[in-house]
Chain A
Amino acid sequence: MTQDNRLSGGQIDRTKTLNFKFDNRSYAAHPGDTLASALLANGVRLMGRSFKYHRPRGVLTAGSEEPNAIVELRSGDRQEPNTRATTIEMFDGLEARSQNRWPSLKFDALAINDRFSNFLSAGFYYKTFMWPAAFWEKLYEPMIRRAAGLGSLSMQEDPDEYDKGFRHCDLLIIGAGPSGLAAALTAGRAGSDVILADEDFALGGRLNSETFTLNDRPADEWVAQTVAELSAMPNVRLMPRTTVIGAFDHGIYGAVERTGDHLATLPSGKPRQILWRIYSQRALLCAGATERPIAFENNDRPGVMLASALRTYANRFATTAAQRVAIFTNNDDGHRTAADLHNKGVKIAAVVDVRPDVPINYDYEVLAGAQVVDTKGRLGLSFVEVKLADGSKRTLDCGALGVSGGWNPNVHLTCHQRGRPIWNEDLAAFVPGADLPPGLTVAGAANGMMSTHGALQSGAQAAVEALELGGALPDLPKAEDAQVSQTPYWYVPGCARAWLDQQNDVTVKDVKLSHQEGFRSVEHLKRYTTLGMATDQGKTSNMGGLAIMAELAGKSIPETGTTIFRPPYTPVSIGTLAGRMKGQEFHPTRLTPSHYWAKERGAVFVEVGNWLRAQWFPLPGEMHWRESVDREVRQTRASVGVCDCTTLGKIDVQGTDAADFLNRIYCNGFAKLAVGKTRYGLMLREDGIAMDDGTAGRMAEDHFVVTTTTANAVKVYQHMEFVRQCLFPDMDVQLISTTEAWAQYAVAGPNSRKLLQKIVDPEFDISNQGFPFMACANITVCGGLRARLFRISFSGELAFEIAVPSRYGDALMRRLMQEGEEFNVVPYGTEALGVMRIEKGHAAGNELNGTTTALNLGMGRMVSKKKDSIGSTLSEREGLNEADALNMVGVKPVNSEDKITAGAHLMDASGPVDAAHDQGYITSAAFSPSLDSHIGLGFLKNGGDRQGEKMRLVSPLTDLTVEVEIVSAHFVDPEGERLRA
């Protein structure tokens, strides 16, 4: 198809032709086109369907405010719904499809809704679909959901990469129109660090759309020369294709740079878009203004456009929407469009101006004091009906109608910190108010400076003020300085189905109904009618609705209020906001020192927070994980096993007050712990609830090594720093995390000492006498490598934990395996670790669940009353010390075949099973190879006194009821003889 609607001139590169497809039909375009301009050039006006009534829709604007021409861009896993044709930069091979229509754009079955529109008035659904109650989910809602929605997702993973970055500047200039360019020139020449961002791919803003001159030369010459000067400045960064989406606290702006959307395919490793966090000392909003429409009957037909958009398409994109065009305006700007189109050879059917006193024009007809009262044409405009000043009607034959209701300053970012714009009578529009985001100022049309001269001057002036630059303004080009005043004209009297929000199908009638039913505040209006809730965020519709509501309420517009704008300025791809943190990179992965060795051993890994830990080490022939885990447990208890426990938090606590400090941190005493000894410690939160537990080894008078659980390492460190800096600032204590510095392995089992003796250097006596239970020391291994040794046991066996610098952890593990062969050493993972600690009755994360006290955990007596420690006071509250408080207990099935389920609840042996009779719950459960039975730990009301009691364990969720016996939590070696062996 040929580009019948191409005009002369413009900023497109006719030397190259790009081919693209819309709804599977091929068309030609040129570099510099947008999808919308290319479609218009090819004579395509129908581009979409509206949300509710599925009315035919054509392009309304030439920018990011577009409500109508939204399409599905690209295909396959790159399909991008709801993309504005007006902002899609043309590339060769572009594919787009219209959306929200079936079976086709020209014939859309759901257009039937339009016939019944009278029954689908605003908020109708709140009043019906209530009977029968059950029908909502089954019938009505699915119906509504299917009809609703716009574009569709590919349902496949987005294959593209996204980046995020940070940039810093003295002045961020938002918008590269006349005021933005003048500001950049001023600040740039003064040597300030400047970022100039514009959402368009061509800098220049409105100057690209106008025919008037700067210094008596075409405006684009000045733009080109200015951009050239700016890009030569090392202190100025030009960011085209970059939308500043939000003004956040303290001068931080979010900006999305579309680095790849204009390319057919992305170079490898390059992102599709980048989210920039711009840290600005000052910011200047030069976002220009948006033309507003006038509402009249059937003003939504394809071909009805904003007059300024027609002008942009003609002047910048060398395109007209039709060969015969009419203009409907209430201000002089509309006439400018007529003149430009006429000069490009487009036939002007007439200019319809609501003002009675407008000069006639000799090139084309001007109908003063007239209004457009209706339009005709099935899938696009063919006629407009005009009511003339004398009341008579006249029909104009035209394929496009340019509508101009005046201009609204783009104040959006000024509202992002809840600032309210103020009403300007001369412009009959909202302009930025006084309460702007700190550091932000506004210039140009965004600040109500509608003339080009005003824009240039105010931009330069604003830069000078923002940066407190001395001296005069740079020489700015001579430009038009037409006085702009706008008299409000929102809708043609008597219209009803006159569209305000063209995407959501909100008409003047709907606003009237909203008022009639008492939804009169702006917020109620928006919510009740969905006005301004569409993907264009009401950029072209909110004002009209507000004005009509004001009129109905007999109030002024400012009295009626304004809806405040929130980020983002235009919608942002969720992928962009996520950046690289997705898939495996969602969170950093922490690997243990023995990870690579474990991988060679074919370990199965499990996520523990950000850590990857070996869960078990399957051997060939083992079919089920239980086989591996049972073996690891049996072998460890029978001989010796090794487990990487590096993930436990380690904190070096040093200083002359270190012992005293630990006394405050732990609820039990530490002051008297001897050097060379380790002690178990329980940490409470200030509210008296158990926070974390671990051991603290005293390496020297003034040096402790504290361990925390893997999960709480960070939290505990923070807490310790809080206590150190905020509560006891004069204590001589220094803290530093050494979690990653040391590879730490548990060596457990009756032969653990024998194994260690083979690697610990001979000068260190680790016999039971020389190195008894709970001893700790700095030693050397394997011929002089510094190491730390602790005789502590989580498994209940004779056990040690040995630590060496992390880089040697891999080698040490291999050495232990090799030296341990004679003992049939076994590596064990987190599952076996868990089984053994349950067998031993050690509390862990499932028991320290943030609601349990020392009393619940069976350590009530540990809470020293003789000293001040965090949480000791509030732990005394009666609610935490009731007679039937939960106590930790062991649970065994009466029939050893039966399974214990963590999360099951305990009920009396007989009687009802319900919440009122709930006695407790299971926190941890496992199969115990040592007892050859399932076992569990849990909390039971007054459990301390209920050993031997038979109860029912119920899990209705998993459909299980088991008869169980309450036993001691210490299933294995309750006297602790093994670990002292």
Chain B
Amino acid sequence: MRYSGFKVIQQALTGHKGWKPAWRDLELKPHYDIVIIGGGGHGLATAHYLAKIYGHHKVAVIEKGWIGGGNVGRNTTIIRSNYLLDGNEPFYEFSLKLWEGLEQDVNYNAMVSQRGIINLIHTDAQRDAFTRRGNAMILNGADAELLDADQVRREYPFLNFNDARFPIKGGLAQRRGGTVRHDAVAWGYARSADSFGVDIIQNCEVTGFRIEDGTCLGVETSKGFIGAGKVGCAVAGNSGRLMGMAGMRLPIESHVLQAFVSEGLKPVLPGVITFGAGHFYVSQSDKGGLVFGGDLDGYNSYAQRGNLPVVEDVCEGGMALMPMIGRARLLRMWGGIMDMSMDGSPIIDRTGIDGLYFNGGWCYGGFKATPASGYCFAHLLARDEPHPTATAYRFDRFRTGHMIDEKGMGNQPNLH
């Protein structure tokens, strides 16, 4: 069934009797060409592109809980391609272009909203670094704009321009950046993949891999064995646990990142702002909640919850940047598991095991990458070679010394 305004009206007049489930509720088949582990944004996007672009329809997405229940359902919904390094920028720009056509591609309104993102500048060194980055963005075909303090002030007069400890000296803007209704991304990809015949199996947890002489033949699950020509893993937050079942150690630590939503407020923030002198970034959802976040708690955790010090740190950043939010209330907070890689950049690659493919290590940048990650992983699964925009995301880059370290923090994941 195609969604459209007309459909909504027609259904409204007939008591909404005609709406079908967004995806079918199915039994497992014994074998698939490709099994994707992980019914999150990346896994579902992979299935969508596998079917739509690469013509693979004997595909299953298996999810241990409910689809979209992981980080795609819990994040700060920001999309952007304001990266510096050659290994990253083309990939994220590809992702942003896919976002721009997403609704029409999947026939689902995920409310892709290119309201713009500004990274604030507080020091000359920061301006130099952002200038280099902005240039790299433009040289890679993305958009970037360097703003001085007055330009920032015109757009965000309520930021702290009076007694800021770290005065705002400007910003690096990407107008095509913005936000997306995160849950709808998972649902939209799921519905589309389903329409192409992809099986989406919820409450199906992987308990092991069946690997014989270096080849992966399928996965053992809570619903029994599933044979597979190829197995793709896209289980943000659980990469270590899952690949451990295949006997792999990863260049990844799992950390907790908290995020926050305020009570609903009338519109105040037109776009996304990132504070350059503290750990704070914020946007406002269409429902009116301020959606904001900051830094990792800093310790390895699978608990999906954090602690007060970081909550305070983030709110201190918020108050330092926008003293007007003092009387707005924090409504909800949650913690997601971030697979922090050793250089802060992801991995989309084959593994040492034939037929087993890996997609992970997205740190806290996974959401914006969803379309390109799905597209490139689908490409790798279908063609057995990396997509041109994702050639750098290899396992062996640490061995060869080709790290992709945007922040220059080295092999300490909680600093990326």
> Nearest Cβ in chain A — how far from B264, in angstroms?
4
Q: Are A583 and B12 in contact (CB under 8 A)?
A: no
Contact call B326/A148, Cβ cutoff below 8 A: no
Residue from A81, A583, A913, A924 in contact with B128 in the complex, judged by beta carbons closer than 8 Å: A924
- Which residue of A154, A277, A534, A957 is within 8 Å of B134 (Cβ)? A957
| Contact A246/B308 with A126-B109, A130-B3, A956-B135 known, Cβ cut-off 8 Å | yes
Contact residues in A for B150 (Cβ distance below 8 Å): none
Q: Which of B162, B166, B267 contacts A586 (CB 8 A)?
A: B166
> A431 at interface (Cβ–Cβ under 8 A)?
no
Does the CB pair A521–B66 fall under 8 Å? Answer: yes
CB-CB under 8 A for A918 and B86, given A249-B307, A905-B135: yes
Assess whether A141 is interfacial by the CB under 8 Å rule.
Answer: yes
Contact between B139 and A583, CB atoms less than 8 A apart: no
| Cβ contact within 8 Å between B165 and A584 | yes
B256 to nearest A CB, angstroms? 11
Shortest beta-carbon distance from B258 to chain A in Å: 10
A518 interfacial by beta-carbon distance below 8 Å = yes
Instruction: State whether A127 touches B401 (Cβ < 8 A).
Output: no
A850 adjacent to chain B (CB < 8 Å): yes
Q: In whole Å, how far is B17's beta carbon from the nearest beta carbon of chain A? A: 8
Closest Cβ neighbor of A848 among chain B residues:
B408
A24-32, A155-163, A229-237: which lies at the B interface? A155-163
The answer to whether A915 and B308 touch (CB under 8 A), given A149-B267, A158-B327, is no
A517 contacts the other chain (CB 8 A): yes
Contact flags A892-923 to B (C-beta < 8 A → 1, else 0)? 00000000011111000000011100100111
The answer to whether B316 touches A581 (Cβ under 8 A) is yes
In the bound complex, do residue B131 and residue A903 qualify as a contact, i.e. CB atoms below 8 Å apart? Answer: yes
A954 at the interface (CB under 8 A from B): yes
Q: Which residues on A are within 8 Å of B, measured CB to CB? A: 51, 78-82, 118-119, 121, 124-131, 133, 136-137, 141, 144-146, 148-158, 160, 162, 164, 246, 248-249, 252, 254, 275, 277, 416-418, 513, 516-519, 521, 523-524, 527-528, 530, 534-535, 537, 566-568, 571-575, 577-579, 581-587, 589, 606-608, 685-689, 691, 845-846, 849-851, 874, 877-881, 901-905, 913-915, 918, 921-925, 954-958
User: How far is A146 from B7 in the complex, measured between Cα atoms in Å?
Assistant: 25
Quick one: closest A residue to B110, CB to CB? Answer: A126
Instruction: Write 10 A-B pairs (CB below 8 A) sorted by A numbering.
Output: A146-B267, A158-B327, A162-B326, A521-B66, A573-B328, A583-B160, A685-B410, A874-B401, A904-B132, A958-B131
Contacts of B127 in A (CB 8 A): 902-903
Instruction: A128-B8, A922-B132 are known; give 9 further A-B pairs, CB within 8 A.
Output: A127-B4, A521-B66, A523-B69, A535-B329, A574-B328, A574-B330, A581-B319, A606-B123, A905-B135
Residues of A within 8 A of B273 (CB): none
Once the chains bind, are A152 and B265 in contact (CB under 8 Å)?
Answer: yes
List residues 1-29 of chain B with CB under 8 A from any CB of chain A.
Answer: 3-5, 7-9, 12-13, 16, 19-23, 25
Q: Which residue of the partner chain A has the closest CB to B409?
A: A850
CB of B320 within 8 Å of the partner chain: yes
Contact of A903 among B101, B104, B129 (CB under 8 A): B129
CB neighbours (8 Å) of B291 from chain A are: none
Q: CB < 8 Å: which of A537, A607, A685, A958 contacts B411?
A: A685
* Partner pick for A153 among B104, B162, B324, CB 8 A cutoff: B324
**Closest 7 pairs (CB-CB, A-B):** A850-B408, A903-B131, A158-B326, A879-B401, A149-B288, A877-B401, A575-B326
Whether B73 contacts A527 by the Cβ 8 Å rule is yes
Contacts of A574 on B, CB cut-off 8 Å? 262, 315, 318-319, 325-330
- How many angstroms from the CA of A277 to the CA of B307 in the assembled complex? 11
For residue B307, give the distance in angstroms from its CB to the closest CB of chain A.
Answer: 5
- B397 in contact (CB, < 8 A): yes
Cβ–Cβ contact A568 & B111, under 8 A: no
Report the separation of the CA atoms of residues A155 and B323 in the bound assembly, to the nearest whole angstrom.
9
In the assembly, what is the distance between CA of A881 and CA of B68, in Å?
A: 43
B318 to nearest A CB, angstroms?
Answer: 6
| A119 contacts B8, C-beta separation under 8 Å | yes
* Contact call A578/B318, Cβ cutoff below 8 A: yes
Q: B308 contacts which chain A residues (CB < 8 A)? A: 246, 248, 252, 254, 277
Residue B312 interfacial (CB < 8 Å)? yes
Whether A957 touches B146, Cβ cut-off 8 Å, given contacts A128-B3, A578-B318, is: yes
CB of A517 within 8 A of CB of B22, answer: yes
Which chain A residue lies CB-closest to B292? A574
Q: Does B402 contact A (CB under 8 A)?
A: yes
Closest B residue, CB atoms, query A684: B410
Residue of A141, A162, A607, A849 touching B286 (CB-CB under 8 A):
A141
Mask: chain B, 151-186; 1 = CB below 8 Å from A; 0 = not: 000000010101111110000000000000101100
In the bound complex, residues from chain A placing their C-beta under 8 Å from that of B68 are 524, 527
A745 CB to nearest chain B CB (Å): 23
Q: Closest A-chain residue to B304, C-beta based?
A: A418
Contact B411 A687 (CB under 8 A): yes
* Contact in complex: A130, B69 (CB < 8 Å): no
Indicate if the CB atoms of A118 and B330 lie closer than 8 Å. no
B193 contacts chain A at the CB level, 8 A cutoff: no
Contacts of B89 in A (CB 8 A): 915
Quote the shortest CB–CB distance from B323 to chain A (angstroms): 4
In the complex, the answer to whether A149 meets B408 with C-beta atoms within 8 Å is no
Contact B286 A586 (CB under 8 A): no
Say yes or no: A118-B286 contact (C-beta < 8 A), given A537-B331, A583-B165, A850-B405.
Answer: no
Residue on A nearest B18 in the bound complex, by CB: A516
> Which residues on the A side are within 8 Å of B145 (C-beta)?
957
In angstroms, how far is the closest chain B Cβ from the Cβ of A141?
A: 6
Contact with A along B227-246 (1 / 0, CB 8 A): 00000000000000000000
- Closest A residue to B165 by beta carbon equals A586
Please provide the chain B residues from 301 to 339 with a CB less than 8 Å away from any CB of chain A in the complex. Answer: 303-305, 307-308, 311-312, 315-320, 323-334
C-alpha spacing A133/B132, complex, angstroms: 32
Q: Across the interface, which residues of B come within 8 angstroms of A79, CB to CB?
A: 327
Query: Are A846's CB and B146's CB within 8 A?
Result: no
Instruction: Check A150 against B288 for contact (C-beta < 8 Å).
Output: yes
Take A158-B327, A583-B323, A585-B165 as given contacts and tell me if A913 and B66 are in contact as well, using a CB distance cutoff of 8 Å: no
Q: Which residues of A contact B334 (CB under 8 A)?
A: 566
Closest beta carbon of chain B to A434's beta carbon, Å = 18
CA of A913 to CA of B25, assembled, Å: 52
- Decide if B22 touches A584 in the complex (CB within 8 Å): no
Do B163 and A126 have beta carbons less than 8 Å apart?
A: no
Indicate which residue in B104, B111, B188, B263 contacts A81 across the interface (CB closer than 8 Å).
B263
- B315 near A578 (CB under 8 angstroms)? yes
Binds A, one of B112-120, B354-362, B368-376: B112-120
Cβ contact within 8 Å between A78 and B327: yes
Q: B187 near A: Cβ within 8 Å?
A: yes
Contact A915 B165 (CB under 8 A): no
B12, B140, B401: the one within 8 Å of A688 (CB): B401
Contacts of B405 in A (CB 8 A): 689, 850-851
The interface residues of chain A lying within 8 Å CB-to-CB of B402 are 879
- Please give the distance in Å from A45's CB to the nearest CB on chain B: 23
Question: Is B387 located at the chain interface by the 8 A CB criterion?
Answer: no
Distance, CA A513 to CA B12, complexed state (A): 12
Quick check: B265 and A150 within 8 Å, CB to CB? Answer: yes
Given the interface pairs A518-B22, A905-B139, A956-B135, the reply to whether A573 lies near B16 with Cβ below 8 Å is: no
